[in-house]
Structure 1
Amino acid sequence: MLRLDGVASITSKALKLTDGAPQKVGRAFYGRRLDSISSFSTTFVFVITSQYSDLSSHGLAFTLSATTDSLLDALPSQFLGMFNDENVGNTTNQLFAVELDTIINSEFRDLDDNHVGIDVNNLVSISSHTAGYYTSNDTFSPLRLASGEPMQVWVDYDANSHQVNVSLAPYLERKPERPLLSSIVNLTSVLPRSVYVGFASATGLLRCIHQIIGWSFNPNGAATPLDYSVLSEVIKDVRREAQSHPDTSRHILLPITIMSVFIVLVMLVALYIYMKKARKSGEWEIDCGSPSFTYKDLVRATSGFSDRMLLGKGGFGKVYKGMLQTSSQNVAIKRISPDSKQGMKEFIAEITILGHLRHRNLVQLLGYCRHKNELLIVYDYMPNGSLDRVLHGQGNQTIDWVHRFNIIKGIASGLLYLHEDWEKVVIHRDIKASNVLLDNKMTGRLGDFGLARLHNHGTDAHTTHLAGTWGYIAPELARLGRATKATDVFAFGVFMLEVACGRHPIEVNNYGEPMLLTDWVIDAWESGSVLKTVDPKLEDYVKEEAELVLKLGLLCSHSVHSARPCMRLVMQYLVKDVLLPDFKASFLSLTIKDEDFDQHILSCNSVATTMTGLSGGR
C-alpha cells in the first residue's frame, strides 16, 4: 500500500508522480516505516514524458527519509519535492536520495541538465554523472532521461563497506557490470533505524509527467527481479493514454516555453561572465559533499573570532572553537590567513578529499567558507585537543596505555580505509601526533588533509613533491619526493613509537646530537631492553601489547619500503588476528643492497608474507 500526496496518483497500473501540470509536487511512499534497513537493494522502471523533446522539468528521486511530515513543506521546481529554501542542506533533514534530474539548476547543482546524483540532506549531490550507462566493452552511452522512453535504475547499498552503487540502463537491457555512480555514504550516520522509502518528484514551468512503471525493494538483501512481461503491458497502456490525450494547451504554454528558453540563455550568459570573472579573481566552488557556511555564520559562532575562543595557531593561521547558532553544535573553525604557508591548493585538497570521507577515526569536515582573502574550514569539535599536546605537554597530564593502544588501532583503521577501503586511494602524507585529534571519549581521529593526494586503485600516485614533517619522512621519499602507501606506513610506524615511548621522532641526545627515535628503540632492543623505551609516565601497561607496538612500529618504519607491511596486515597484527613476524633487531638495519636482506626475507615465512601482502605499497 502506498501513501500518496501532492498530485501523485495511480493510473493504468502505473504510479504517476506528476500529472503534467506546472509547478507541482508529487510523492509516493510505502505505507509504513521500514525497520532495520541494512544492506538494501532496489530497482525501478520510470518514464519521464515532456511536452518538448529538448526541454523538461524537473525530475524525480528515489528517497529514504526519516519522516514524511517534513516533506509536506517541500517545494516544486529545483527542490524536487524534497526540500524548501529554508531546510535544504540541513543535517536534521535525515534524507538520502538518488535523483534523476532533467533541467539546469545553477543554484544547487552542476550545469548538467540531464544527470543522476546521490544526495544526502541536500540538493548538492555528493556524487553525480551525466545520465547514461557503460556498455559491455566499457564505453559510456548517454541517455536522455526525459525522452519518453522507459529506463531502469538499480540502487545497491552495502552496510559493511557503506558503498552505494547506482546503475541506469534502457528498459529490457541487463544491469550494467560497471555502475554509473559509486560512492561511500555511511547511512547509519544520516538516517535513523526506521525510515520511509519511496519517490518524490516535481515540475517547474513546463508540462512534464513523471511515472514509475515498476518497483522492487528489499531492505535487507537483493531486490526481487521485475516481471517484464507485466511491465511491458503497462508501458503500452501508458503510451496509448498519452496518445489519446493530445495536449490542448500547447498554444498557451508556448509563450511560457519561449520565456523559459530566454531565461535559460540569460542565465548561461550571466554564468559565463561570472565564471570569467571568477577565474580572474580566484573565486571558486568545490565539490566536497559538504555544505558551505556563510562568513556571518562563523563570525557569530566564534563571538567575532574572539581570543577567548582561540584553540591554537600555527603556520596556516588560527583555530577557533565555535557554536553554530542554528544547531547549537560545537565546531572547530580553521581560519587560514592570506599569508599562510597553507595556500589555495592545500585548502582545496583538504575539503575536496575530506568532504567525501566517512570514518570514525577521521576528523569530520562539516563545511567551508571563503570571505574575501580569508579561507575557513569547519570541523567537528574535538574537546580533548591534539594527541601531541597530551603526549608532550608540560605538567603531569598524561594518557594511559589503554587509550594509547586504542588510538594506535583507531588511526590504523582510518589509514586502512584511506589506502584500501575507500573508492580511491588517499595518501595522507603528513601522519603525526599533532594531526591526531581526540574526541570526548579519547578516540583518535586523523585530520589535516591539506597535503593529501588521491589516485585510483591499481595506479600509482603522481606526486613528486616532497611533503611531510622531518622525522616521519621515509628515506625514499626524501630521495625521490614520491609519496606512496609505503611512505604513509613509514610515518605511521614512527607515530606508533612516539605514542608508546612518549618521545618526539627526533630529539637531542646527551652529547647535543640529533637522535632518531627509531635508532634509539633499535639500540634498546639489541641490548635486550626494548621495554625500557616505553614512556616512563606510564605506571601500568600491558607488556605484550607494548612490545607488539614497538616491534611493529620499527617494522613499519624499516628503511627498505618493500619490507614494510600494508595497512591491512598492520591492522591484523594489532587486533592479533595474525602473529607479528619473528624477526631480529638486526633485520631493521639491513638495506636492499645487503646480501643478507633476501636471505632474511626467505628464512622467515611470516616476513615473506608481510612482503607479499604489501598490496601496492611500493
Structure 2
Amino acid sequence: MPPHSLLLCLLFLVQISMSYSIGGFTYDGFSDSMLRLDGVASISSRSLMLTDGTLQSIGRAFFARRFDSVSSFSTTFVFVITPPYPDRSSHGLAFTVSATTDSLLDALPSQYMGMFNFENTGNVTNRLFAVELDTILSTEFRDPDSNHVGIDVNSLESVSTHAAGYYTPNGTFSPLKLISGEPIQVWVDYDDSSHLVNVSLAPYLQHKPQRPLLSTTLNLTSILPSSVYVGFASATGTLRSIHRIIGWSFSPDGEAKPLDYSALSEVIQDVRRADQRSRSHIPRKVLIPVVTMSVTITLVIILALYVYMKKARGSGEYWEIDCGSSSFTYKDLVSATSGFSDKMLLGKGGFGKVYRGVLQTSKQNVAIKRVSPESKQGMKEFIAEITILGHLRHRNLVQLLGYSRHKSELLLVYDYMPNGSLDRVLHGQNKQILDWVCRLNIIKGIASGLCYLHEEWEKVVIHRDIKTSNVLLDNEMNGRLGDFGLARLHNHGTDAHTTHLAGTWGYIAPELARLGRATKATDVFAFGVFMLEVACGRRPIEANDYGDPVPLTDWVTNVWESGSILKSVDPKLEDYVKEEAELVLKLGLLCSHQAHIVRPSMRLIVQYLVNDVLLPDFQPSFLSLASRDEDFDQYIPACPSIATTMTGLSGGR
C-alpha cells in the first residue's frame, strides 16, 4: 500500500473513534487521543476501561484539554458495568467536572469513588461537580433500588438522589439495574440561565426520556472556576467490578452531538468477546498462585480474628458494653427495615447508611445507623457512641435506644427524627424554609444540650463534631444533637485526653487545628459557627466572587464593619426580631473568637440567649485581637469566659 494511502487509512480510523472541535468532542469508541488516564484506567477493546477488576483500585480519565468556559454544558455517554456476581458490585463511577486533575490524586477507592478521601469530602475547595452512578449493594439483601444516581457537589453526600431508572413516555418509572452488564446511556445537561441540572438514564438504543430522572437547581458558576476539566472517576472496593465507558460526547456550550450507535455496537461486541475470553481461560500458572495466596490470606485473617477476639474478651470490650441501652437482634432490625431496603434509606455518609425502621413488636419508628465494614468509623467510634450516648438523657440530644452487631457490621438504633437534619432543611435541600422563631428555638435547644454535656452531667463530654448535619429535627421541629462517634469524656476539673484532630473544616477552632487538642472551648467555637450558619443561612465556608474560600465568621464580621450586622441575616427570613437576631450574630462571633480565653462557657451562653444576662457590648475590631488578657479587659471589662486550661495532653485518639 502506498504511504499516502496508509496515512489516509490511519486518519480515517482516528476519525471513527473520536471527533473533536473547539466547541466539544465525540468518542464513538476510544483511542488514546486527547485523553489523560490515571490509576488503572486504560483503553481496552476500543472502550475506556476505568477499572480493570483489581481490588481497591481507582481509575480516572479526563479529556486532556481544559475548557475555559462550560456555561451551559451538555454531555451524554454509554457505560457498561461488569460485576463479579449478578447481584453485587463495587463501587460505581461518576462523570466529573473538576477545577484540576491534580486535586484527585489523594482520592481513595471504595466509597470515595476515586474523587475524595475521608479528610477532604465536603470541602468547598474541592470545586468539583459530579453525577455518580452508585452501585454498592447490600451484601445480605438484594433490592433493585439499591443502586442509585446522585448529583454531588464537593462531597460524597449527594444534593439530590434517585433510584436508577427512567420515566417512560406515559410517565411510569421503570427501574434500571446498573450492574446488569448491559450498556446504559446517560445524559447530563446544565443551563446556566436557569441554573438547572438535568440527569437522564435509558437503556442503550432507547431515546432520551422526555422527563429527566433528576432535576436540581445549582449555580455551578459559584461552585466551579471558569476553567475546568471533564472526565470520569471510578473505584472498586472488596469486589472485582469492571467499569467501562463505551462512547462519550461533550459540548461546553449547547447540546452534545449524538453518538454513532452503529460504531458503538461494534465496540460493545468487542467488549463482550473480551470478557468471555477472560472468563473462559484462566492459565494454570495464574490459578495456582492465586489459590495459594487466597488460602494463605484466609489463614492469616482467621488467626488475626482469633487474637483480636481473645484480646477483646480480656479487656472487657467484647461487645457487651455497659451503655444503659438494650441490644437488638439483627433479625429485628432486618425486619424493621424491610431487609434494609433502599426505600427506607434516610441518608449516607462516610460511616455507612442510615435507615428508617418500624420495630415489629412496639410499632415504634426508629432510625438505624448501619456502619459498613469499609467505614472510616470503626470499632473505637462505635463503642464511644454507645458508651457515651447510652447514658445521656436530655430533650435536645438524640436518644440512643440500643445497638446490635452482625458479623463485621455494626448497628445503632435511635429515636426517629421525622424532619431530618437541620443541614438539609436550612440549605433548601428539601425546599422548606425555617422561620426565625423556629431557628432561635433550635439554637437555644442545642445550647441547652451542650450545657448539659459540658456542665451538668456526671462527666464532661466534648462532642468534637458540632455542625448542622449532626442536628436532627423531631416532629415539632426541636433540634437534637446527635452523632457522638467522635465524642470524648473526662472528669470535671481535668482535661480531655485527645491529641488527634477531629471535626469538620469550617467548625474547627484555630487552636484545635494547630495543636489537635479538643476542649470545651473548641466545642464552643463550633457552636458559634453553628449559630451564625442558622442565622445567616450560609455554610461555614463559601467561595467569594473570585472563587476563594471565605469563612462565615469573616464574612459576618466584614458585613458588620461595612454597616449593620443585620444585613448578614438570611434573606429568606421575611420576619424576624431584630434584637434577637443581633444577639445571635454577635454571640456567634464571640463564641468563635480566635482566642479561646474569650469564648463564654455554655452555661453563660444559655443565659445570654434567654436574657438572664446581657451580652457585653463590643465592636468588630475586638474580634481581631490576639490572646493578650489586657486587650480583652479593655474592650469587655466583665466578660466571663471558659478560661480553658491548655496543658499538655497525651494518649487519646
**TM class, shorter-length:** 0.5 to 0.7
Residue 277 and residue 414 in structure 1: after superposition, are their counterparts in 2 closer, same or farther (change >3 A)? closer
> Would you identify which runs of 4 or more consecutive aligned residues in structure 1 move more than 2 Å?
273-284, 393-396, 602-607, 613-618
Q: Separation in 2 of the partners of 1:550 and 1:277?
A: 51
Q: Separation in 1 of the partners of 2:394 and 2:419?
A: 19
Structure 2 length as normaliser, TM-score? Answer: 0.51
The partner residue of 1:469 within 486, 504, 513 is 504
Q: Separation in 1 of the partners of 2:452 and 2:595?
A: 24
Residue in 1 that maps onto 2:343: 308
The partner residue of 2:353 within 315, 318, 336 is 318
The partner residue of 1:521 within 556, 560, 571 is 556
> What is the deviation of 1:582?
0.7
Matched, 1:590 2:622: no
Q: Separation in 2 of the partners of 1:401 and 1:514?
A: 27
Aligned AA (1:313)? K
Structure 1 spans left out of the alignment, 5+ residues: 1-272
1:507 alignment partner, SS class: strand
> What is the deviation of 1:527?
1.4
1:583 alignment partner, SS class: coil
Residue in 2 that maps onto 1:54: none
Structure 1 length as normaliser, TM-score? Answer: 0.53
The partner residue of 2:597 within 562, 575, 580 is 562
Contact 1:485/1:617 (<8 A) preserved: no
The partner residue of 1:403 within 435, 438, 445 is 438
The partner residue of 1:296 within 322, 331, 346 is 331
The partner residue of 1:601 within 624, 633, 651 is 633
Residue in 1 that maps onto 2:535: 500
2:310 alignment partner, SS class: helix
Aligned AA (1:558)? H
Q: Separation in 1 of the partners of 2:518 and 2:447?
A: 18
Contact 1:486/1:617 (<8 A) preserved: no
Contact 2:344/2:356 (<8 A) preserved: yes
> What is the deviation of 1:603?
4.9
Residue 489 and residue 295 in structure 1: after superposition, are their counterparts in 2 closer, same or farther (change >3 A)? same
**Identical columns (%):** 80
The partner residue of 2:470 within 435, 442, 449 is 435
Contact 2:608/2:614 (<8 A) preserved: yes
The partner residue of 1:551 within 562, 568, 586 is 586
Residue in 1 that maps onto 2:522: 487
1:479 alignment partner, SS class: helix
Residue in 2 that maps onto 1:256: none
1:349 alignment partner, SS class: helix
Q: Separation in 2 of the partners of 1:367 and 1:600?
A: 46
Q: Separation in 1 of the partners of 2:469 and 2:389?
A: 17
Paired residues, number:
341
2:404 alignment partner, SS class: strand
Q: Separation in 1 of the partners of 2:636 and 2:354?
A: 49
Q: Separation in 2 of the partners of 1:617 and 1:366?
A: 35
Contact 2:596/2:643 (<8 A) preserved: no
Contact 1:566/1:615 (<8 A) preserved: no
1:311 alignment partner, SS class: strand
Q: Separation in 1 of the partners of 2:646 and 2:576?
A: 32
Contact 1:582/1:606 (<8 A) preserved: no
The partner residue of 1:456 within 491, 500, 513 is 491
1:319 alignment partner, SS class: strand
Contact 1:309/1:321 (<8 A) preserved: yes
Q: Separation in 2 of the partners of 1:395 and 1:514?
A: 25
The partner residue of 1:276 within 310, 319, 331 is 310
Contact 2:618/2:635 (<8 A) preserved: no
> What is the deviation of 1:528?
1.7
Residue 616 and residue 362 in structure 1: after superposition, are their counterparts in 2 closer, same or farther (change >3 A)? farther
Q: Separation in 2 of the partners of 1:541 and 1:277?
A: 58
> What is the deviation of 1:602?
3.8
> What is the deviation of 1:606?
2.8
> What is the deviation of 1:278?
5.6
> What is the deviation of 1:276?
3.3
Q: Separation in 1 of the partners of 2:564 and 2:551?
A: 17
Matched, 1:533 2:582: no
The partner residue of 2:372 within 332, 337, 341 is 337
Q: Separation in 1 of the partners of 2:354 and 2:540?
A: 25
Q: Separation in 2 of the partners of 1:288 and 1:365?
A: 10
The partner residue of 1:388 within 400, 413, 423 is 423
Aligned AA (2:310)? K
1:345 alignment partner, SS class: helix
Contact 2:519/2:644 (<8 A) preserved: no
2:319 alignment partner, SS class: coil
Q: Superposition RMSD on alpha carbons, in Å? A: 2.2
Q: Separation in 2 of the partners of 1:588 and 1:278?
A: 49
Residue 550 and residue 601 in structure 1: after superposition, are their counterparts in 2 closer, same or farther (change >3 A)? same
Q: Separation in 2 of the partners of 1:303 and 1:448?
A: 24
Structure 2 spans left out of the alignment, 5+ residues: 1-306, 648-653
> What is the deviation of 1:605?
2.5
> What is the deviation of 1:600?
3.7
Residue 372 and residue 527 in structure 1: after superposition, are their counterparts in 2 closer, same or farther (change >3 A)? same
Aligned AA (1:320)? Y
